[in-house]
Amino acid sequence: MKIIAVANQKGGVGKTTTAVNLGSALAELGQRILLVDLDPQANATSSFGLQGVDETSLYEALLGEASITEKILPTRRERLFIVPADIDLAGAEVEIARMPNHLTRLAETLKPLLADDTFDFVFIDCPPSLGILMSNALAAADELLTPIQCEYFALEGLVKIVRLVEQVRDSGANKRLEIGGIVMTMFDGRTNLSAQVVADVREHFGERVYETVIPRSVRLSERALAREFIQRHTPPATALE
Ligand SMILES: Nc1ncnc2c1ncn2[C@@H]1O[C@H](COP(=O)(O)OP(=O)(O)O)[C@@H](O)[C@H]1O
Ligand SMILES: [Mg+2]
């Protein structure tokens, strides 16, 4: 099981859309997927119509008052499950801040999932801020998947994330964290700007940028992204020298 934090401190860049559509496409391709909605706005949760269902949310599990395994709901899609968010998560931020292990709460919360091998990938849909919740996601994740909008200042935003990743690594909270991928979103083929932004980001981040670019209409490219994702996460059959 790999834990992927879908993160960018900017809102509206396509985090939730990427987490939900990539998760759905991977499930369709046979992968067992868990979405963890870490955003108090609960957009991923409501995209499945699961807000307020049985009062199930990440909140209690995050505070150590329940096991995450009790908080998993099925979605209408086979092999795709979700731990919903609710607005209480905004308060959890304050409560976690008072705990001694406040950076590793989410990592602890997800531990039972590692043990029982039910999922291939866990995607954490992060809130749009550099706060405690997002830091927890980075401390819990094997890698970061960062959607970047093809807009001005895309690189500036990325530089901040790279710095945060280095901080989390240096703090010892998560030494294995790496930026596993950057996905360019909302590409507009009619403007030079989109092409220029993609070229700039590729120049700085090279291989880490997914070749699949998500245009302003999503479906097909998410499936292409899912295929490329699997390719990147399948170990080579024979070890190359
Ligand atoms: N590739 C895309 N093309 C067009 N609209 C998109 C695309 N990706 C996301 N959107 C829309 O942009 C808005 C913000 O996307 P969202 O995934 O919620 O961003 P975030 O989670 O980063 O805040 C939503 O209304 C979403 O439907
Ligand atoms: Mg979102």
For 33-66, the pLDDT digits (tens) are 999 999 999 999 999 999 988 789 999 999 999 9
User: In CATH, what number does 2-232 get?
Assistant: 3.40.50.300
Task: Please count the other Cβ atoms lying within 10 Å of the Cβ belonging to residue 239.
Answer: 6
CA 96 to ligand 1 centroid distance, Å = 29
Which tokens hold the place of 60?
């209690």
C-alpha 89 – ligand 2 centre gap (Å): 14
pLDDT of residue 241: 46
Ligand 1 contact via 214 beta carbon (within 6 Å): yes
| Ligand 1 atom 16: residue of nearest CA | 14
**Cβ–Cβ < 8 Å for 15, 7:** yes
- By CB atoms closer than 10 A (0-12, 13-18, 19+), residue 153 is exposed
Ligand 2 center to 240 CA (angstroms): 39
Ligand 1: which of 17, 35, 125 to mutate, judged by most atoms within 8 Å of the beta carbon?
Answer: 17
Q: Please name the residue whose Cα sits nearest to atom 25 of ligand 1.
A: 12
Is residue 11 lining ligand 1, measured as CB closer than 6 Å?
Answer: yes
Check if 41 has its Cβ closer than 6 Å to any atom of ligand 1: no
Residues (pLDDT < 70) of the chain are 218-220, 238-241
Ligand 1, residue 221: give the atom nearest the CA: 1
Q: For residue 159, what is the DSSP state?
A: H
The pLDDT of residue 240: 52
Alpha-carbon distance of 111 to 108, in angstroms, equals: 5
Question: 43: Cβ below 6 Å to ligand 1?
Answer: yes
Ligand 1, atom 15: closest residue by C-alpha = 14
The predicted-structure confidence for 81-107, as pLDDT tens digits, reads as follows 999 999 999 999 899 999 988 999 999
Report helix, strand and coil shares of the chain as percent, to nearest 5: 45, 15, 40
CA distance 87 to 142: 26
Q: What one-letter code names the amino acid at 64?
A: G
